[in-house]
A and B are shown apart, each in its own frame.
Chain A
Amino acid sequence: MSAVFKALSDPTRRRVLELLKKRPMSAGELADQFNVSKPTMSAHFAVLREAGLVASEKHGKSVVYELQMSVLEDALLTFAQAFGWELQVGPAALGRDGDTADERVER
């Protein structure tokens, strides 16, 4: 369950899940919606996959993501969206650019 909480604690990942509620999307389509690098997006997708919130299918060269959330996880996502729920990080956990350790690892 901690993997689910971790996945839902990031606004970008929550936005990905909100987009996937409408329909399954390719990695490229999803990445176009965000102003972040592709490796960072890939890391976000990996966290979501790890938590079992999305499933991925390879269609030729593109990877299509689709939602795979239980009702409880859906309710947690709605709750997290409503209250702007984010992981609490102290100043020590932030890098020079104000990024989190999680984001530095992704780069």
Chain B
Amino acid sequence: MSTQTHFGRGTYAMILAVLAFLAVVVAVAVAKKLGYIEVLEAKRIGAIAIGCVLIVAGNIAPKLKVFSGQGFDAARVAGAERSTGWILVLAGLAFVGLWLLAPSDDLMTYSSLVGLCAFGLVGAMWARLALSPREAALETNPTAQAKRMALKQILFALFWVFAIFLADSLWGDDVSRWMAVGYIIIAMFIATPGLKLRKRADDSPASE
């Protein structure tokens, strides 16, 4: 079986989004340190950047088939893939909208709830699909799998950011600091299969 796929634009968009996000975070940190912007403004800009990453990640999620449902009913998988993208993009837009327009009271709580609800919906949809009968899985393109894994890590990081936002607004700094440590530990476990897939993709003759 041979596979022809077009992932170029999606991958570039993902890399650009991550680089733009990092540039914004560094610029905001420097501006805050130099006293050009207030703490709330810095928070708003950072949160809007996070929302933009969610929009870009949600936009390309159906294209990369990030939650590959291979072996399950093709029609349901196609629907779930499209819904995943739309839910994440709409949640990203709502998140950005909140940070742009809403007053500062309870902004962290409501915006993080928007993000967590979106991930909850997506998780419930795929969990329901995973409980359906599975057919024989087809061989997958390892290059595409490595890209999916990269996007999964970005989405997981976003999920964790929303969880930290919520924990920070409900229980304060101490809990959110421990959650940040927890993220680093869990990310190491998640990154391991990602690196293996990357190596497989590099070794594969089908790699780009």
What residues make up the interface of A, taking CB atoms closer than 8 Å to B?
A: 20-24, 49, 52, 55-59, 66-74
Contacts and interface: CB of A to CB of B under 8 A. Distances in A.
A55 B65 CA distance: 11
Contact of B4 (A23, A24, A56, A74): A56
A72 B59 contact: yes
A89 B5 CA distance: 31
B3 A69 contact: no
Contacts of A20: 78
Interface string B17-61: 000000000000000000000000000000000000000001111
Interface in B95-137: none
B2 A71 contact: no
Contact of A52 (B9, B58, B61): B9
B5 A23 contact: no
B188 interface: no
Interface stretch (B82-90, B158-166, B179-187, B193-201): B82-90
A55 B10 CA distance: 14
Contacts of B4: 49, 55-57
B8 A71 contact: no
B142 interface: no
Residue from A24, A56, A68 whose CB has the most chain B CB atoms within 10 Å: A68
Contact of B6 (A57, A58, A68): A68
A21 B76 CA distance: 10
Given A57-B2, A58-B1, A74-B62, A23 B8 contact: no
A71 B6 contact: no
Which 5 A/B pairs are nearest by Cβ-Cβ distance? A52-B6, A23-B75, A71-B85, A23-B74, A70-B63
A71 B61 CA distance: 8
A57 B1 contact: yes
Residue from A20, A49, A72, A73 whose CB has the most chain B CB atoms within 10 Å: A72
19 contacts: A21-B78, A21-B82, A22-B78, A23-B74, A23-B75, A49-B4, A52-B6, A52-B8, A52-B63, A57-B3, A59-B1, A67-B62, A67-B82, A68-B62, A68-B65, A70-B10, A70-B59, A71-B59, A74-B86
Contacts of A21: 78, 82
Contacts of B60: 70
A95 B78 CA distance: 39
Contact of A71 (B1, B58, B65): B58
Contacts of A69: 62-63, 82
